[in-house]
Every structure is written in C-alpha cells, then in structure tokens.
Structure 1
Amino acid sequence: LINVTTLSPLHYQGVRAMAEGATHDNYRLGLSYYGLLDSRLGMSVSAYGSFRGGYFRNNYNGDKADRERLGSLRWKTAWRPVDNLLVENVASYGHTRQNGYPYFFEDTDEINYNDTCFYKRTTFTDGLTVNWSTPYFTLASITGFQYVNDNLTLDQDFLPESYFTLTQKQHDRSVTQDIVLRGTKGGYSWLAGVFGFYKYANMNAPVNFGKDGIDNLILGNVNNMLPAGMALRWDQDNLFLGSEFTMPVKGVAVYHQSSYDWRNFSFALGLRLDYEHTALRYRSHSSSSCTMYRGERPLGSVSVDIDDSDRLSQHFSQLLPKFSVTYNLPHSAIFASVSKGYKAGGFNTQMFSEFLQQRLKQEMMGNMGGGQGGRPQTVAEESSDLVARLVNYHPEVSWNYEIGGHFSVDHGRVYSSFALFMIDCRDQQLTMFPEGTTTGRIMINAERTRSTGGEFTLGYSPTPRWAFNLAYGYTHAVFRRFSYNGSEYKGNHVPYAPSNTLYLSATYRQPIKSTLLKSIGFTADMRGTGEIYWDEANEYRQPFYAEMGANIRFELPCGSLDIWGKNLTDTRFSTFRYESMSNSFFQRGLPVRGGLTLRLDFMSL
C-alpha cells in the first residue's frame, strides 16, 4: 500500500514555486498557494506542468520518439470544525500526451517505425478523508473516486513495414471506501476495518493489419499448404480485427490487527479476509473477403464474417494472516515477520486479436474447402471454448518471511538498517511475449518461484557538514517449477528482477554568513543496478551498470537553487527488452543530462 500525503493548509500558509530547465529541451514549472479562510478552514491550489523534448529520434520520420507534455491541477480543502474532527478533500486533474515509444530494433540498433504512436491520458481523482478522535478510539473514513480516459495507439511491430497497429481506448471509473477503527489501552493496541471497491471499465482495442501483416502473418501459412501455382489473396488493403470489452470488478475485505507490548517485546497478529469478483464481456468481430488465384486467374471469392461475444467471470477469496515480533532496545530494534500475500487473477484481453486471427484462418479454409452446413457454428463453439480455457489467469499467492532491524549509535551520527527476506510464491503472475509470429503478450502463471535476498542501509554524519549514505539490495529470484509450451525454465532467473541495487552518496555543506546565501552544498552519488534478465529462458540480460551524478545546492533565504547532472559517464544500458514476431526490441536508459532547479518558499508570517 502507498499512502500519499500532501502539505496541509492548516499547518502551512504561503506560496511555493518551482522552475526547472534541463538539457534535451526539458522544462518543469510548479506553483502552489496555501491559505486560511478562517482559523479552522484552509485551502490550497497547485498547478504543475512539464515538457520533455525527448532523447531518442525515430529515423523514419525524424521525430523524437519519447517527447512528452504533462499538466495537472490539485485543490485541497482541510476543515477542523471541532478539535477532534478533521475533514480533508483532495481533487486532482491531470492530462498527459506522449509520443510513441523509443524501442530500438536489435538487428539495426535504431528506432525506425512508420505508423503513428502516441499515448494520451486524462485523469480525475477525488479523495475524501474524515478522522474522528475520542479518548477511547479513532475512526477514519477514506472515500476515493477515480476517472481515467486514455488512448494508446502504437505501431505494434515497431518496423518500417506495415504489419499491424493497435489502438486501445479505455474508460475507467472506480470507487473505493475504507473505514478504519483504532484503539489503545495500556500495552495493547488494535485496529479493525472494512474495505470495498467497485471498478467499471470499457475498452475498445482494435488491431489493424496492413499489407505486410496480411501477407506474412495471415496468408503465409495458408499459401504454403496450397498446390503449386495457386495462391490466396486478400481483397482489401487492410484487415480490421475489432475487440470490445466491458470489465466490471468489485471486492470487499475485512481485517483486524492486535498488537501487545510486553517488556522489550512487541507482538502483532493480523488477519484479513478478502473477496473479489471480476467479469469480462467481450465482442470480437471482423468482416473481410479473399480470392483464390491460379496464376493470375481468379477462381472464386469467399467472404468471412465473424461476430463472437460472450461473458466470463471469476471470483476469488483468500484469508491472509500476518505475525510479527519486535525486540526493542534504546535506539535500536530487531524484528521478524511472517505474512501471506495475494493478488487476484484476471483476463488476458490482449490475446483476443490472436484468437480472432485463428478464427479467420479456420473460417477461410473451411469456406474455401466447401465445408458449409454447420461448420461455421462448430468453429465458433471451438473458439469460445478456447477463449474460456486460455484467457483466464489465476491468482498469485505468496508466503513472505523477513527478519531485520535498525540501530543508531554515536548520538545519531551513525544509523543503519538491515533486512533478510524469503518470498515463496505459487502461481506467480508473469507477462510473457509468445514465440514465433504470435502477436501481443499474455499473462500466465509460473507454478512456483522463490526470491531470497537482503537489504542494507548505512548513514554516517561525522560532523554537521558531512554526510555519507550507502544502500545495497540483493535479490536471487528463480523459478522452482515452471514449464510452458514444452519449454522447461526450472532454475532460471525470474525476469525483470534486478540481482543488485546499489546507491552511494557523499554530501558536504558549507554554511555562509550572508543575507543572500545561507549555505552551499556539494553531493556526488552513484546508482548501480543489475544484472537483469529480460526473458524466462534467460537468453537476454542487462549486466550490472552504474550511473554517476553530482549536485551543487545554493540554499537561499527563501528557497534553493540546484545545479545537477545525471549519468555523467554517459553509461549505455537497457531498461526493457522484449520479443515480437521473432524480432528483439529494447529501450535504452537516458544518456548524460544536466539542468538547473529553482525552488522558492514564501511562508506567511
């Protein structure tokens, strides 16, 4: 869970501003006002905007493939009608427009695709929080609403040829409600609550095949089976595969946790009962025709009209326990915990275009062979059974074990924390890109995985002017049992999980006695990541890489000015890699860059 809190106008009144300019035409602007209408009612209004010129160019049209424009507004109201009651509401609006995606084709080491790519999203969220405190308990109610309207349009083959494009338009509306009751008496504390949500989404995701896609992905296998001199040709220049979805999801959970302090020990026991129901109503449709030729002489045409629809549903329930014990010492603590984790299953909507392609081939071959009189209905029934079998993916369940602690010595000048963990996961949900000419991606379940590792942080401030920080994480995530489509992956690394993460920084701050400048600070840092495996077979990986950064901060009487640089060694690395139609694509990390960031804070007196 992520709890996002914003500055309250009841505690701060004034104006905050931020402006940033960086290399590669990157700019950010932000402005916030916090004020009181009376002693118990405050409001704040914030506006933010950014423009990213882009780092990578599409060689096909010369445009930057990762250009982005973003804007947002936020309005927060905080009201304390009486001392023990606080009501807060945050309403936010945001709009994002991005160019297509900077995927490099491995064979040419360049971005070069011909069809339009962009992502556009408009969001509105509203969160109402009510906190009521009494001498015996506190009651909190958190109500949320979210609206998302987005459009993902991309050249899905990312090649200069016209294979196929995807447009995915989605409207999401969701409501959440959480009620939490807390209480404390002596060494015993407890919390109990109920959580519910409802989400309703409509999605229209058509795939449009161009000439190269029709010839190679649709007709290629069919024509290879025909006698010499005969060929099947599509009558249109494109093939439209329509997919429309309605996806209602709802769920409810009740939970309780009790904690008890005894001497230096703290014990906590929690239990959560979770229920979720998800449904999918789909319609897959296509209308087209093709003609059989002997040489250049047409032999006959066949129309293929498909319109399939159905409703699928799944429901999940799970009981999730949690136990932890902590041993507290002055300025330090050691803990151990055991908990059960869970993620509900769902539906593979991106597989429907593949199902529809197979239906077209079956109908086309059946009609060309004269197999009428009931065959189309049989094919439709077989397709419906195939969808029911393959479109579902199952819930993911894990047991999580962790021990760790933290300590502070030398009057707080040295602070450290550590943790060792093991996650035993069954039916882990994993995104795969199927082999061969299959398009799209699919969510499947890996039978069993295990992740072990640890994290360590160390902070050292020998003097008020110097500060050193170290953070290191190690993860060994492997498949303990997993086979798919005849391939065995047992013992391989789980994709996308970095084996090592490292952060080092050193900061020096020099106070300055001046009316215009309070101090100057210098920071040097290093961030390291890797290795990362990109596929289940572990054929592709990103070795460990490091990025160097530096920052000079001028602390002003009413803010700060930062001069910064990132990836100063211009390290080249990949942040993502995948395969489509037996082609490999990757996305590069950002190159060397630098900029200026000005922050101003005019606090009311």
Structure 2
Amino acid sequence: MKKIIYPLLCASMFATAANADTAVNDTIECVYEMNEVYVYKPKEHFALSQQPLSSTSFNQGQLKNLNVNSLQQLSAYVPSFTMPVYGSRLTSAMYIRGIGSRVNSPAVGLYVDGMPIQSKSAMNFHVYDAERIDVLRGPQGTLYGMNSEGGLIRFFSKHPMTYKGTDLKLSVGNKFTRTAEVAHYGQVNDKLAFSVAGFYNGQNGFLHNKFNGERADAFNEFGGKGRFVWTPTDRLTFDFIADYQYMRQNGFAYGQIVTPEQIATANIMSPYYGLKAGTQDPNQNRQSNYRRNMLNTGLGIKYLGNGFALHSMTTWQFLKDYMMMDIDYLPMDFIHIEQRQHQNSLTQELAIKSRNDKAWQWTFGAFGSYQWLKTNAPVMFDKDMNKVMSKAITQYAYTGMLAAMAKRIAARLIAAGVPAEQAAEQAKIAAAAAILKAGGVNITMDMGTIPGLFHTPTLNLGVYHESNIDLTSRLRATLGLRYDYSNVEIDYATSARIMMNQKVMGQEVNSVISSMLAHKERNHFGQLLPKVGLTYRFDDLGSSVYATWSKGYRAGGYNIQMFSDILQTELSAASRTARGSLDIAHDEAAYERIARTIEYEPETSFNYEVGTHLKLNGGKLNIDLAGFYMQIHNQQLSVMAGNYGFGRMMTNAGKSHSCGVEASVRGEALNNKLSYAVSYGFTSAQFDEYADSTALGKMDYKDKRVPFIPQHTLGATADYLIAVSPDALLDPTNKFHLRSVTVGLNLAAQGNTYWDEANTLSQNFYATLGAHADGDFGPMHINLWIRNLTDTRYNTFAVQSGATGQKFAFAQLGNPFQMGVDFTFHF
C-alpha cells in the first residue's frame, strides 16, 4: 500500500476523477493509490465497472461538490433510485428499479465499512467522513443475501492508513441550518493507524404546524465514530469500527391535500373556505416526533494467505428509539400512537476468495445473523374518535330498534286493512315517535388505549459461492449461487376494551367489552439465489458489454401494525350484539385465523439485464447503459390496515413486473477543467395480478402502476475549475492563498409518482436546481451553495388515512429554496 504525497492536493484532484474505480494520476505528479482489495472488495474480484451489473459510484470530491449529507440527497443523482423524505428517520424507505418497502424488511441492502446494517430504522443516517459511496442496482443476493433484491449501497469511510491529517467543516444556512464536523486521521507507526470523528447537524425547519405554531420539521442530531487499524504482519490486518448517532426531530409534517373540487364547492362554513388547492401546511393537534439512539460496531479481520484472502466481519448493532405520531394528521383529537423499539443484532460473515492471476477466480462465504427486537406500541383512541364510534353504534342500535318496532306495527296495520306501502310508512313514523317518547337511544363508548408488546426475533443463515471464469482473453463468465434460510417469530401480547354507557328507551346499562390476545407464532423460509453473467471486454481500457440473469428475494414475516385494527373490528362487532359486559374468548382456531391475517409471504424476483460500460477518450469519458426486466412474485406492499386504516401493514400482491433503462455519462473536458455527469432512469412498474378487498368492495389493480416508484429519474451535475494562482499548487507551504474557484450547477428531477394502488394520488414530474461556488485557499475551502434555486413546490410523499371514518389524503412538502455556506479546513 502506497502512502499519499501531499494529501490535500491529491484529494483536490481526486474530486475531478472521472472514474472512481481507478487511482488518480493528473497533470501534477501525485499518487493516490489504495489497496482496493482490502478497502473496497472483500468479496468481489473486480472493480464495479468490470462486473456484469449497473452501478454508480461517488468519490469524496463528488460528494463535496453535491453538498450531500444523507443518502436521500444522494439518491437524486442515481438512475432508478429514490429515497424520499417520509416524515422521519424511522421510515428509511429506498426504491430501486420498482422494488422497495416502507415497513418491515428492506428491499435495498446497506453496508457501512463492511458492516451489514440490519435495521431499516438505522439506514437513514448523517453522512460524513465519507470517502466513497457505491450504489449497485439489481438483485445482489448471491454475495449479499436476502433484502438486497432491489440493489445494494456500500458506504466507505476515509481510511486512516491512506488519509492523514485533520478535517473540519462548519456550515450555516437559512432556517438556521447548521453543521459542524471534525475528524482526525493519524498513524502511530507503520502498523497502527486510527481515526476519530464527530458531528452535529440541525435545522429549525421549513414547515410550521398551524395548530400550535411549532416547527413541524425541526431536528437536531449528533454523533461520533472511532476506527483503529492494526497490521501486525504483512498478512494480517485488524480493523475495529464504532459509530454512534443520536437523532431528535419533529416528524410526519403531513398537510392535507385539498382538491380544486373541494375549493369550488366551499362556502363560508366549509373548512376549505379561503384555501388554495394543493398540499396545505401541517395542522395537527399533537406534534409528532422521533428520537433515535443507534450504535454500530464491527471488527474486520483480513488474512492474506498463499493464493487466497480471508475476510471476517463481526458486528454488534444496537438501536433504541421512540416515535410519537398523530395518526389522523388533523387538528381534531382522533388517534395517536407511541412506539418504542429496542433492538440488538449480531452478525458474522466469513469470506474466502482466490488471490492470483489465473483464469478462475472464486469466492466462498458464510453469513449468520440474529436480531432481537422488542416493540412497545400502544395505540390511543382519543375523545373525537370515541365520539365517532359512539355516534356510529348509536345509529346502528337505533336503526335496528326502529326497524324491529316498525315491522311489528306495520303487521298490525296491514291486518287492520291498511295497504302495505301505507302501513310501512305509518309504522316507521309511529315507531320513531315511540322511541323518542320513551327516552330515545344514546350510547357512549370509550375505547381508551390499546397496549401492544411484540417480540420479533429473526435468524438468518446463508452460504454462497461465486466464480469468475475467463472463457477467453476477453470473455468472462460469472456464476453464483447462494442458499438463504430465515426463521421469523412473533410473541405478542395486546388487549383492548370498550366501556359503554347505553341509554335505551329509559333504561341505562353500563358494560365493558374486552379482548386480550397473547400468542406465539413462527415461520421459516429458504431460498436458492442463482446468478449467471457474461462480460465481454472489447478494448484495453476496460470497455465491455454484459448480460446477467439473477434472482432476488425478500423474506416474509409478521405485521405488528394491524393488531389495533383486528381488536377494533372484533370489539365493534361484539358491541352491536352484546347485552352486557363481555370478555371475548379466543381458541386455537381464532389464533390460527389471526396468524393468517398478520403474516405475509416472501417476495421473489427474476432480473434480466443487458448493459455496457464504455471508457472513451482515454478513460476521461465514461458511459454506462443498461436495460432490465424484472418479474416479481408476491410483491410486498405497504398498505393501510384493512377495515379502519389505523396503521401500515405489509401485504402481498400476486404478480407485477418492472422494466426500464438506465444511462449515465461522466467525464471531463476543456483540459480537465470541466467535469460533468448526467444520469437518467426510466422505470415502468405495473401490477399483473393484484386484487384487494376495500370498503368499496373488491378492487382489481391489474395494469395499475406500483406506488412510490417514480417513472423518470434524472440527475445532472457540471463543475468548472477556474485557476486563480496555478503556481500555488506547486508550493504546499503557501498557506491561505486563493488557488482556484470551482463553480457548479446540479439538477435533480423525478416523476410521475403514484402514491396509492388505485393511482388516484400522484406527483407530476418536477425538477430542482442547485448551484455552488467553491474557493480553494489551500488548507481552507469556502463553498457557497444553493438548493432548490427555483423554489419548486412538490410532494416528497403522500398517504391516505381512514382513521376518522373518512378517507383523507395528506402529503409532505419538499424543502423550498435553501442557501448556505460551508467552511472546510484540512491541516
């Protein structure tokens, strides 16, 4: 492994590299060379641009120019990839090629410095200390297992064996957006190196909660990480990493979507009077918020043998969070939920691969993980919800009583010779008068709190192999196979009760109807994940064409979000027939029905892909093209819980397909002063077989678009380097002298995106424009940046809620115009 000459200058040139897979050699004598086998490829043998897959990589210079500090911001510049803002860091949904998930198991895998992140709630984190981020598209199950069906993201921190010195970043922007990051990289000797880093990040927020005036999207977060690398011999390396982050945010800033029809028919008494059509500001009587503690630790061991390399990664991951959510998203007090997760995960992965220049390159590996997860999620039914339920049960009781009395009166009238139609009308009037005279019908209900405690441990085991065989000097075959086994369990304890006061025709009865559910369920799944690829290299720069067939897989499991709906349905049915207090009993048959209700099946897919990696103009122009077709079976969808819509649940659609094209161009021009990148993805994701039972009856969604998937994704960046004092580059002792200015523009666009299975809610295609100007003063950089320069108004996410008995649509607005300045130092 070679050391860096003038780290600051190398990093500056690294920012203009057209190909992140190669070392940088520019006009100034400087070497930035890494042991790529250790840092980047513990399993693979070849750089991403030499593999039969579609991918996008960002080095630290590109990340700096884009001014990103989250995977959500980065996703805008990757074709067919979206990670929208969903209200809080709890819901870290990622979608690639029409595959994704809002709840339960992820569909896109994430590795951070070789650590497989197990919890979906831990995937949306503050990005800093980053050297490189890779986004691999398409199933990566052979080497990375289940839940990487849509693709995989790999995050790499700066390595203390190759990067030296101290980095400091201070940033401030409008709405008091502020960031402070510091990191130090040191080498004790040739065998021991370390890095320590920390950050703080926050903002006052852009959206106000109209109900109480609070900032609906304010947040604060901080964290720190440490890394120690020890190479006692030339063959053996130990790499220990610990990364802690804390987040507290006001979340779920959803405002109601008001339609033009509602505005047109509004009068002075209407809640829509005086409003404009579109997404309103949040207006919730309870401010939703989210807090999260998470710690990821890992010990990586590498041993270089004679003809092989052995890699081991052992991790312990801890997450503890708290979420409070106003589920109705309205100023009325209907329903809210509190959820606390406490998770511990252990993972162990062992990979051994060949280390030679022979025609056959191989990798064998084994993976195991065990996750303990306890979720405490009480659902609170508040006063306005109790009023709605009381009104509904009163109307039900009154209607039933009225019909029974009218039937008896009508029979007597018909017997007295009154015509049937006239008798029915008179009987109904007489029955209503009799009920009113006797005191009427009035039933009040109090649902209270539905507690819920859920233990959901998960075991996963996998073994895999991949071979790369050179059939000729230019043609390579890739053959892979993995077997994944997962065991999922749920141990639940939840209950509910309704206290009823029934005043019926002068008689008053107080009763309590209750139900308790406590049971254990388990299930297990096994899956073979094959992969076959061919790569043909047709020039010495590495340009190639490829074709790949692979299988993706996402394990099944159990929903915990829908127990309140199950209990509410059960109690509501009992309250209509019960004549006193009742404790609903459950036998094994009842628990079997509940098990079938809460479980969902594994999702599988087959991916067919062809593409090309082109390196032109001496490697300064890189073009990647890919076309794909995916067949998805039992697609897992996040939908509102069945009858009442109190929460999200996972269900399976029958069949769907996703097809599209991806293109990216990255290069340099004008004597390397201009660097540019353009990416575009087209994705058509449709249901082939999917029918669902709704309040309106059975709905057939065949040929409807799969929700949450933008049909078009477009990203573009251009950066131009203006040399101010070129001679200063050759004199690293010349401190704080303006060397150059880099000006840049970036464009992020996506749409059309549907938010529901019926395709009634959507976000049209939209674009946001950003700009920056970076001044290089040697050890210091000053970067002025702007996001959403055109102040484009758009929705990042929309949801329908039926918590109040009516269905409303709500959405989260994207951030408006933002501007700020960064000060970065390296010394």
With the shorter chain as reference, the TM-score category is: over 0.9
Which piece of structure 1 moves more, 566-575 or 553-562?
A: 553-562
Residues 478-517 of structure 1 correspond to what in structure 2 (within 5 A)?
478-485=686-693, 486-513=698-725, 515=734, 516-517=737-738
Measure the CA separation in 2 of the matches of 1:174 and 1:437.
34
Deviation at 1:219, TM superposition (A): 5.4
Q: SS where residue 450 of structure 2 aligns?
A: strand
**Counterpart of 2:536?**
327
Q: Is the 8 A contact 2:742 2:775 kept in 1?
A: yes
Deviation at 1:386, TM superposition (A): 3.3
Q: Is the 8 A contact 2:738 2:777 kept in 1?
A: yes
**Counterpart of 2:254?**
103
Choose the corresponding residue for 1:45, options 177, 192, 196.
Answer: 196
Cα deviation per residue 1:351-396 (whole Å; 9 max; x = unaligned)? 00111112322443443268x7xx8326x66653431121001000
Rate the CA distance shift 1:214–1:383 in 2: closer, same or farther, 3 A: farther
Q: Is the 8 A contact 1:453 1:473 kept in 2?
A: yes
Measure the CA separation in 1 of the matches of 2:479 and 2:321.
41
1:313 corresponds to which letter in structure 2?
Answer: R
1:182 aligns to 2:393 (yes or no): no
Measure the CA separation in 1 of the matches of 2:780 and 2:609.
41
Measure the CA separation in 2 of the matches of 1:73 and 1:36.
19
Deviation at 1:5, TM superposition (A): 2.1
1:506 corresponds to which letter in structure 2?
Answer: A
1:339 aligns to 2:550 (yes or no): yes
Cα deviation per residue 1:478-520 (whole Å; 9 max; x = unaligned)? 1111111110011011111111111223221111115511111
Deviation at 1:33, TM superposition (A): 1.3
Which piece of structure 1 moves more, 282-291 or 112-121?
A: 282-291
**Counterpart of 1:310?**
519
**Counterpart of 1:259?**
468
Choose the corresponding residue for 2:808, options 577, 583, 594.
Answer: 583
Q: SS where residue 213 of structure 1 aligns?
A: helix
Rate the CA distance shift 1:160–1:230 in 2: closer, same or farther, 3 A: same
Deviation at 1:287, TM superposition (A): 4.1
Q: Is the 8 A contact 2:397 2:441 kept in 1?
A: no
Measure the CA separation in 1 of the matches of 2:606 and 2:785.
42
Q: Is the 8 A contact 2:657 2:686 kept in 1?
A: yes
Cα deviation per residue 1:110-161 (whole Å; 9 max; x = unaligned)? 3111124210111111011000001211100001111100001111111111
1:271 corresponds to which letter in structure 2?
Answer: L
* Larger-Rg structure: 2
Choose the corresponding residue for 2:318, options 136, 147, 151.
Answer: 147
Cα deviation per residue 1:426-451 (whole Å; 9 max; x = unaligned)? 00111112577432122111111111
Choose the corresponding residue for 1:446, options 645, 649, 653.
Answer: 653
Q: Is the 8 A contact 2:514 2:584 kept in 1?
A: no
**Counterpart of 1:474?**
682
Q: SS where residue 502 of structure 1 aligns?
A: strand
Choose the corresponding residue for 2:747, options 513, 518, 526.
Answer: 526
The count of residues paired between Structure 1 and Structure 2 equals: 595
Q: Is the 8 A contact 1:253 1:274 kept in 2?
A: yes
1:458 corresponds to which letter in structure 2?
Answer: V
Cα deviation per residue 1:22-62 (whole Å; 9 max; x = unaligned)? 11110000011122233311221111111111010000000
Choose the corresponding residue for 1:136, options 307, 317, 324.
Answer: 307
Rate the CA distance shift 1:13–1:164 in 2: closer, same or farther, 3 A: same
Q: SS where residue 102 of structure 1 aligns?
A: coil
Q: Is the 8 A contact 2:512 2:580 kept in 1?
A: no
**Counterpart of 2:494?**
284
2:790 corresponds to which letter in structure 1?
Answer: T
1:319 corresponds to which letter in structure 2?
Answer: L
Rate the CA distance shift 1:298–1:169 in 2: closer, same or farther, 3 A: farther
Measure the CA separation in 1 of the matches of 2:389 and 2:248.
32
Which piece of structure 1 moves more, 444-453 or 299-308?
A: 299-308
- Please, which runs of 5 or more residues in structure 2 have no aligned partner? 1-151, 259-271, 273-279, 402-434, 729-733
Q: SS where residue 411 of structure 1 aligns?
A: helix
Rate the CA distance shift 1:221–1:304 in 2: closer, same or farther, 3 A: closer
Q: Is the 8 A contact 1:435 1:580 kept in 2?
A: no
Measure the CA separation in 2 of the matches of 1:382 and 1:271.
40
Moved over 6 A (4+): none
Measure the CA separation in 2 of the matches of 1:593 and 1:303.
55
Deviation at 1:456, TM superposition (A): 0.7
1:193 aligns to 2:344 (yes or no): no
Q: Is the 8 A contact 1:525 1:548 kept in 2?
A: yes
Q: Is the 8 A contact 1:561 1:597 kept in 2?
A: yes
**Counterpart of 1:36?**
187
Cα deviation per residue 1:253-300 (whole Å; 9 max; x = unaligned)? 0000111112210111000000000000001113452110137x5511
Measure the CA separation in 1 of the matches of 2:462 and 2:521.
23
Q: Is the 8 A contact 2:560 2:598 kept in 1?
A: yes
Deviation at 1:163, TM superposition (A): 0.4
1:76 corresponds to which letter in structure 2?
Answer: R
1:387 aligns to 2:594 (yes or no): yes
Q: Is the 8 A contact 1:218 1:357 kept in 2?
A: no
Choose the corresponding residue for 1:403, options 582, 603, 610.
Answer: 610
Measure the CA separation in 1 of the matches of 2:652 and 2:394.
32
Q: SS where residue 2 of structure 1 aligns?
A: strand
Q: SS where residue 90 of structure 1 aligns?
A: strand
Measure the CA separation in 1 of the matches of 2:221 and 2:179.
9
**Counterpart of 1:160?**
331
Q: SS where residue 611 of structure 2 aligns?
A: strand
Q: Is the 8 A contact 2:686 2:705 kept in 1?
A: yes
2:702 corresponds to which letter in structure 1?
Answer: K
Cα deviation per residue 1:514-564 (whole Å; 9 max; x = unaligned)? 551111111122211011011111111111101111111111211421101
Q: Is the 8 A contact 1:359 1:383 kept in 2?
A: no
**Counterpart of 1:462?**
669
Choose between structure 1 and 2: higher strand proportion.
Answer: 1
1:82 aligns to 2:82 (yes or no): no
Which piece of structure 1 moves more, 2-11 or 207-216?
A: 2-11
1:67 corresponds to which letter in structure 2?
Answer: A
Q: Is the 8 A contact 2:199 2:223 kept in 1?
A: yes
Choose the corresponding residue for 2:566, options 335, 355, 363.
Answer: 355
Measure the CA separation in 2 of the matches of 1:81 and 1:277.
39
Q: Is the 8 A contact 1:302 1:364 kept in 2?
A: no
Q: Is the 8 A contact 2:242 2:295 kept in 1?
A: yes
